[in-house]
Amino acid sequence: MWLPPLSLEHGIDLQAVVKAFPIVEYRPDVFPGLVFRTKRPRTANLVFRTGKMVCTGAKKEEEVNQAVMKLCQELDENDVIIYDAP
């Protein structure tokens, strides 16, 4: 199963994500994105400052949707999405 990369169409403050979620893996000197793992469904989500995301590890498309929606909700609740000024 192949799905296109996902995008929030807004930037992400990766440093703020690291502060809000100390469990994420972020080593900007090695890789430009961070790894945000979820337990249910069990996935690893690559998140980039541009708002693009890649979800890996899901066994079904439904799990991809659940993981991405859960991640987007958590990012929004912690004010790390950079919304452009109108």
- Structural domain spans, the chain: 40-48+56-86
HSE-CB for 18 with a 13 A CA cutoff: 11
For residue 35, pLDDT over 50 is answered with yes
Q: What is the pLDDT of residue 14?
A: 94
**Mean pLDDT value across residues 36-65:** 92
**Mean pLDDT value across residues 56-82:** 89
**Mean pLDDT value across residues 8-23:** 89
Residue 41, preceding peptide bond in cis (omega within 30° of 0): yes
**Mean pLDDT value across residues 22-44:** 94
Q: What is the pLDDT of residue 86?
A: 42
Pick the more confident residue, 76 or 15. 15
